[in-house]
A and B are shown apart, each in its own frame.
Chain A
Amino acid sequence: MSIFAKSLAAGFLAVSMAATPVVAANPAAGEKLAEDQTFTYSTIDEISSLDPQIVEDVSGSNVARDLFEGLLNQDAEGNLVPGVAESWESNAEKNLYTFHLRDNAKWSDGTPVTANDFVYAWRRLADPKTASPYSWFAEIMAIDGVGPVLAGEADPSTLGVKAIDDHTFQVKLSASLPYFAAMTTHPSTFPTPQAVIEKFGTDWTKPENIVSNGAYVLTEHIPNERMVRERNPMYWDNEHTVIDKTVLLVINDENAAHTRYLAGELDLGPVPTGQYKRLKAEYPDETHSVPSLCTYYYNYNMRDSGPEALKDVRVRQALSYAIDRSIITENILQAGQIPAFTFTPGATAGFTVPKVAFGEMTQAERDAKAVELLAAAGYGKDNPLKVEVLYNTSEGHKKIAIAITQMWKQKLGVEATLANMEWKTFLQNKSEGNFDVARAGWCGDYNEASTFLDLLTTDSGYNDSKYSNPEVDRLMAEAKTMDDPSANYTKVEEIIAEDMPVIPVYHYASVLMLKPNVKGWPFQNVEGKWYSRELYKTAE
């Protein structure tokens, strides 16, 4: 069993034993609640969809978790807690999961939520007609028969999901997955109302049509301006909900959103790029920075068609060593980001950052080593190394690219040029291998190291460096079925630190400003998953 699975299993045991663990707003005794329990926050872009099987962006998923409820939820620390399912069990092989649904779960129109609603939703996720961008999630969940359904070769009804009775939902898997239950917190697995979808088609998510089973219902939606959700009186745990109304404002400019936060229009607002330090000093109780599951890194192009110089491991190491990461995190970003020497962030559950050799040196030692390595590779003042750094057009990426290329120039005499491209053009060029060194960022899909390290395996579709090391492939494949894969992860990180197919630059931090009277924010949840029903506002 993997560490990840173990922590989940621990959660599972706790759940089975606790009488009625309720995750809801939990005001401390003596706290005076505010009269007006309206929570207002902003996002930078209109959400992609309100349909749980279609939605793909983070802010859309936040909304989906308020409007809909899946089998299981996460608490403030990211542990699994019951949702529509009160309990669940699996067979010994971990390939047959049975969920027992509560009998008081209802849709907002008063009809009960049954196992058939899940059967419908999961088939809908895999159905090629739905064309869900997240249908691959059904594939990594290893639901029995998903491959042929996705390919349109089998009817969605052949999918391994079954309603044993109204309150028992069973899933058959094609592989043994110890951490399967945790995947049911993902919005793409949330139940959806068949009758409503069949009646209204794509219009079913409009406020006048939508029927949902979460703690909130959608009452107003003006795309690209605002969306209002109000508490759902039919929700089974409505009595423990405190926030009456959550308002989402779409503000496309982070500075405008920040101004409106300061003007008191928002309870939760962004920290504009580069302003964390100042705001933290000015509003210490409201400005927060927490580690998040993302890594900022540079890809080397290691394809046969790529630059000859970058095929030399000494060159790759030299360029990585010469970057003083603390200058980037402390002088440019200044918002609690962590210098990265490994690909996987330390915030990842069950992952201890291994002490890779170059991370243990001082910057002066790394610089000296870099000069030595590059000279050994045959580059120097007379024969300077020439590379181009590609990034997508943005002030932030530009600052970092300038700093990095400047460090290369000063310390190693590298002649680096900068190239920037608009987002989609950048993606296309990166995936086609038209670059020397390219910026990249990766955020974990789930809270376990393999969501990062799988990226460096030969077959990964996200391996933009086109790095290939059979040993890494073997260790990662082996980790899937191990009780404790952490030794493999450490080994892979050590190999990467040696081969250096990518340059880890820093691990992200998420920064936000939150009014001091908003309580219950899950700062400990590194995936940033929050539910309005867990929040409450105190009287000031």
Chain B
Amino acid sequence: MLNYVIKRVALAIPTLLILIVISFLLMHAAPGGPFTSEKPLPPQVMANIAAKYGLDQPLWKQMVNYIWGILTHFDFGPSFKYKDRTVNDIIAQGFPITLTYGFYSFVVAIVTGMALGIAAAVKQNTWIDYFAVGISIGAQVLPNFVMAPILVLIFTLWLNWLPGGGWNGGQWQYLVMPVIALSTSYMASIARITRSSMLEVLNTNYIRTAKAKGLPWSKVIIRHALKPSLLPVISYLGPAFVGLITGSVVIDMYFSTGGMGYFFVNSATNRDYSVMMGITILVGTLTVLFNLIVDLLYAWIDPKIRY
């Protein structure tokens, strides 16, 4: 087991390096640069700026300097667009926000999604099943950029219960709508996956045996059926968790939370090279990490899996 973890971590390093190199090259291959604007800067001014940010050096040297800065000082460089701040500042400010609403959305999505999925599977082909499937299909097809304005319309403009956006240090009033808008589609996926894998498990021989030996139905579900039916759910949850905590551009834009999702997308359009690289590396690292955690969880759930 320990060997396996060490091997996976060792493999993560070249994976991340390849990610950095490819992202770096793709980013510089995109037309325009951070200082391209509708009013082009005079050549001397442009040269001074390029010198300050090291953009006048050959690409390979910029990349080596960049990676060296990260390895030695954990320095991801200054933002080219928000000139008072470094990438570290932007991540330090934006990541806790997306982590907060992402984590709550994750919890809400798992609890409601699994409850719906299990209920639907256990009561298959009853009105409970149809209701649960209906809700999850509805939630799946309603994208969050449609959901967000509808929520604001209802809770802010009509009922006047919740503020229309903002963050204010993450007070609960400011969290409710982002969490609902973000969690629904994840909830729907979790419900569907749970339902189908639960149904599969419920049709296996050992469940029939458990039933036959007279175990109460609730115990059969919780003790015998739940754990194995979680496997596909868990493999979905790893990447989903990373997706949730690194934020959503729609949530950040519509609810003005100040989270990292907006910076991620916007840095690409602004050609804010350093911010884009910094967040890509963060998301990449988290993805590698959570895939490892998912694999370890497999071994715990399914005794047949050995590392």
A256–B275 Cα distance when bound, in Å, is: 25
Check B152–A128 contact: CB distance below 8 A: no
Task: Indicate if B52 sits at the interface (CB-CB under 8 A).
Answer: yes
Q: Which residue from chain A places its CB closest to the CB of B53 in the assembled complex?
A: A131
Task: Indicate if A262 sits at the interface (CB-CB under 8 A).
Answer: yes
A132–B31 Cα distance when bound, in Å, is: 23
Check B45–A250 contact: CB distance below 8 A: no
A1-9, A15-23, A49-57: which one contacts chain B? Answer: A49-57
Check B156–A259 contact: CB distance below 8 A: yes
A94-102, A218-226, A368-376, A492-500: which one contacts chain B? Answer: A218-226
Contact count band on B: 35 or more
B57-65, B82-90, B112-120, B227-235: which one contacts chain A? Answer: B82-90
A9-51 residues at the B interface, CB under 8 angstroms: 46, 48-51
With A256-B149, A256-B255, A263-B156 in contact, is A249–B166 under 8 Å at CB? Answer: yes
Q: Which residue from chain B places its CB closest to the CB of A264 in the assembled complex?
A: B160
Q: Choose one: B38, B86, B164, B257; the contact of A263 (CB below 8 Å).
A: B164
What is the distance, in angstroms, from B226's C-beta to the closest C-beta of chain A?
Answer: 41
Q: Choose one: A150, A152, A259; the contact of B157 (CB below 8 Å).
A: A259
A43–B94 Cα distance when bound, in Å, is: 18
Check B83–A48 contact: CB distance below 8 A: yes
Q: Choose one: B82, B86, B160, B255; the contact of A48 (CB below 8 Å).
A: B82
Residues in B whose Cβ lies below 8 Å from that of A461: 40, 42
Task: Indicate if A397 sits at the interface (CB-CB under 8 A).
Answer: no
Residues in A whose Cβ lies below 8 Å from that of B53: 131
With A150-B48, A151-B44, A224-B258 in contact, is A256–B31 under 8 Å at CB? Answer: no
Check B167–A205 contact: CB distance below 8 A: no
Task: Indicate if A303 sits at the interface (CB-CB under 8 A).
Answer: no
Task: Indicate if A427 sits at the interface (CB-CB under 8 A).
Answer: yes
Task: Indicate if B2 sits at the interface (CB-CB under 8 A).
Answer: no
B15-30 residues at the A interface, CB under 8 angstroms: 30
Task: Indicate if B32 sits at the interface (CB-CB under 8 A).
Answer: yes
Check B166–A135 contact: CB distance below 8 A: no
The 3 closest A-B pairs by CB, nearest first: A424-B32, A225-B258, A131-B52
Selected A-B contacts with CB under 8 Å, 5 pairs: A48-B83, A139-B42, A223-B90, A250-B256, A425-B31
Residues of chain A at the chain B interface (Cβ within 8 Å) = 46, 48-51, 54, 128-129, 131-133, 135-136, 139, 150-152, 202-203, 205-206, 222-226, 249-253, 255-256, 259-260, 262-263, 265, 422-425, 427-429, 431, 440-442, 461-462
Residues of chain B at the chain A interface (Cβ within 8 Å) = 30-33, 35-42, 44-45, 48-49, 51-53, 78, 81-86, 89-90, 93-94, 148-149, 152-153, 156-157, 160, 163-167, 252-258, 262-263, 269-271
